[in-house]
Structure 1
Amino acid sequence: MEPEAPYLRIAAEIRDRVARGELRPGDRVPSTREIHREWGVAMATATKVIAHLRDEGLVSTQPGVGTLVRQSRLVPVPREREPGSAPPALTRELIVRTALALADSDGLEGAAPRRVAVALGVPTKELHRHVRGREDLLTAMLDAVFDEEPWPLGPPAHWRDRLELSAHRTWRMFQRHPWAAPLLSMTRPHLSRSAIAFSEFSLGPLARLGLDADEVMSINLTLTGYVRGTAMSLQPERRAEQDTDLTADEWMDTQTGRLAELVASGHYPGLRYVSAHGFDYDLDALFEYGLQRLLDGAEARIRELGLLPEG
């Protein structure tokens, strides 16, 4: 018999601590660095331990807090329901809400129908009475997250204000649900009712300017792509923080020596200039800077077409 992989052995030991009550729901499990020190394994192995426990549904990771035992343990579901037991009161809303919670905790892979069924304590086939499959579930999830923040009762009439409001609203949604950024495909979009209504909020005022259809869609998709592209860094950053227990700023602190070497080499004058004057990396500020420059470019293009007054 082949020896058990170290990460599986360590995961089993942590699972036993939960079973014995030494780690209770909401308690923090050993971090990758603590696993590295306690069990004497490589950081890559420690990372696999946390990933395995997360895939089992035993733990979830909260950015800035750590990896915690789930409040509600996820346990395997028997293929057949116990004789005489009542079926769970499944609804489409409950399934979607559960999938959202799993995706927020573990990324989009956490919302796989099998994982959702395990979380609800039902066989996977029971979900298909309410959702037609994974694509239907993902579309329903997009509908839900786009509907979370209501539109203002009196939306701005000016086209630029509309686009700016829409971009900020999308950015906030991606910050709450980073998994939604890769899901919102630019080439094969899910036909989400709410996402289409979101686009309409920007398309309408652009069309009323007199732009042709190509210009209207190009401006809208360029802005959407910018927001989505910036948000694509959110999920990997959360996972990196989960795996290393280091925030982005803390990780950069570990790179100061290497950065100093690169600056001192004299080969990178631009990097030397920025390093000497300082740069406060703030993703929200960076997002806002890029958004305003894109809107400036759209405004310049609309003026060039003679659809806005000069000045």
Structure 2
Amino acid sequence: MRIVHNPDHHRHQGRLEMFRGRLVPCHETPARVDHVLAELGRRPQGPVVLPDDAGLDALLARVHAPRYLAFLGRAWDDWVALDPANAALDAIPSVWPVRGFRADLEPDNFAARLGLYSFDAGTPLTAGSWAAARAGAACALTAARAVTGGGERQAFALTRPPGHHAGADFFGGYCFLNNAAVAAQALREAGAARVAVLDIDYHHGNGTQSLFYERADVFTASIHGDPRTEYPFYLGHADERGAGPGLGHNLNLPLPRGTGWAGWAAALDAALAALGTFGADACVVSLGVDTYAGDPISGFTLDSADYTEIGRRIAAALGGRPCVWVYEGGYAVDAVGVNVVNVLEGANAAGG
């Protein structure tokens, strides 16, 4: 398994986020990657390489809306141009175009533009957010290339900020660019006729679902906390099955807070069976380990040993088909290294 590491992830380091009605230190921190790298030093799972961004910008424009990408690329400069003192502050959205408001026109006001492209107040935009997010997307692209022409069956995009909450033209949930979608699109363009995206993060991958909801060539499946009570709330229900050509190609498996290994594993088996029925030529796994019992912002109760079995089951079900693993959530920082590497170890043992 090739590990593609984002060397620029430290450039995105938010100061504060809005969480349950108050500003708190960010849960999504550089230590999330640092702990995984440290554990890979103790238990290597394959060579660690840097991303190659050749062709990335054109691919991003096929995943995300061009005006959204343009906004992200200039957002920090626009923020600081308002007031040089803003360089010491993160930009946090505070106003949004809800139902009935217009979203077709991009406002001149920066706060309005920031709100136009976001869905929460928990995703601070910093001086290095664009550089870190773009390098993370390059990791996903490089990982996809590793399994389509680089001699690997599996690859892991080790990056932050995460990506699965980012849609075609919106950010939130700590996510700016959808790395899993970048990998899936790259796999399609490399010749995989059908690609599956399996999201095992605690939080529903609302961005990934929205990107592929009307497509028949990409099957999306997600195991997550019930959106009636769990963030990001407004997508992820079991009756969301896709639309148009994509009808029947989206599977949501919401589970109640407190679900442990037995219930979660049964949902995984159901998702893997659906992927088998779809007949995917390649797979992308949004690997969140915030399903861990000790995670501070989640509600499942998996333990570290369960993650080895998760990796084993997924790789075994794929039967050697190309697979890109993409790092998503996991906020019990001291445990993320062990939990992520356990997944990779299980996957390596089963899938080579």
Q: TM-score, normalised by structure 2?
A: 0.28
Which has the larger helix fraction?
1
Structure label with greater radius of gyration: 1
Higher-strand-fraction structure = 2
Task: Name the TM-score, length of structure 1 as normaliser.
Answer: 0.31
